[in-house]
Amino acid sequence: MQFSGVFTAIITPFKNGNIDEDAFRALIDWEIEEGVSGLVPCGTTGESATLSHDEHKRVIEICVDQVKGRVKVLAGSGSNNTIEAINLTRFAQEAGADGALLITPYYNKPTQEGLYHHYATVARAVDIPLVAYNVPGRTGCNMLPATIARLAHEFPNFVGVKEATGNMVQCSELIAACPEDFCVLSGDDFTAFPLWALGGCGVISVTSNIAPRAMSDLWKAFEQGDFQKARTLHHQLFPLHQAMFMVSNPIPVKTALALMGKVEEEMRLPLFPLSAADRAKLVSAMQDAGLLAR
């Protein structure tokens, strides 16, 4: 499979309102040193919704340049505008990304036929491998297994999906309907281990921003058939997953990285810093996980 293992949905560090390139490059190096399989710049966790197009492109450029082929880069290039998605995906290809992650069109609420033609149009326009991102909780539409399977069977460069419905029945139907080498990546840290048991090939993770080694160890244990170790790690990481989603992502994870001294505690409106009570809960969860001293 083209994309397997732990892919970090990496944050975009800001400093004084601008991209903090130095912090971003250092964070990329740390993630790779800690064992992740790949990085996903310009996703939801990277605050893509508040990046200008120039910033979006710059984040992808920095990521590809800093990675230098050590792991795979799956660049976020989706949009609810098909023409815009094509343009961003072409840029990702030209920048040297290994693949492009395209969220289902949000707000428009397309039909299944509309979703099919959106991805088919992008697939015809580019050569880069494409991974769809199905997250109904954020987009208002659910890309069904039959639609994904149709694209997977028709377009060789439509190679995977980031599946974030949390619905294991739908995931089972999806994996059964798609080609054997089609990548089904968990889009939710909570359901990564269960999805792998069904035949999933990895995870695009928020938690691996702050615990890349632990998430990578979870995947390695599963891949090596040590299901008891994988199960134990899954349960150990679960409270940290919960902390990462106590309010809208990426507020908690960005705050956590700031507490670890890796980035400035800066995000863009309409995202807003944690309340004192939630911050205390986050600190406690990080201390329990050994990420902060007591």
Judge whether 133 counts as a catalytic residue: yes
Torsional class of 272: left (φ above 0), alpha (ψ -120 to 50), beta (otherwise): beta
In the structure encoding, which two tokens stand for residue 186, read together? 């968990």
**Residue closest to 250 by CA, chosen among 138, 113, 107:** 138
Helix (H) or strand (E) segment spanning residue 242 = helix 227-244
Residue 45 assigned ligand-binding role: yes
- Out of 116, 133, 229, 262, the active site residue is 133
CA separation for the pair 124, 238 (Å, rounded): 40
Under 8 Å between Cβ of 291 and 210: yes
Cα dist. 10→14, 23, 154, 156, 194 in Å? 13, 12, 31, 27, 23
What does 114-149 look like in DSSP terms, one character per residue? HHHHHHHHHHHH--S-EEEEE-HHHHS----HHHHH
Give the angle subtended at the CA of 100 by the CAs of 34 and 230, to the nearest 5°. 40
| β-bridge partners, 46 | none
- Out of 72, 116, 119, 162, the active site residue is 162
Residue 86 assigned ligand-binding role: no
Judge whether 162 counts as a catalytic residue: yes
Rounded to the nearest 10 degrees, the angle between the axes of helix 227-244 and helix 212-223 is 150
Residue identified by tokens 């491998």 is 129
Q: Tell me the catalytic residues.
A: 133, 162
Binding residues for pyruvate: 45, 204
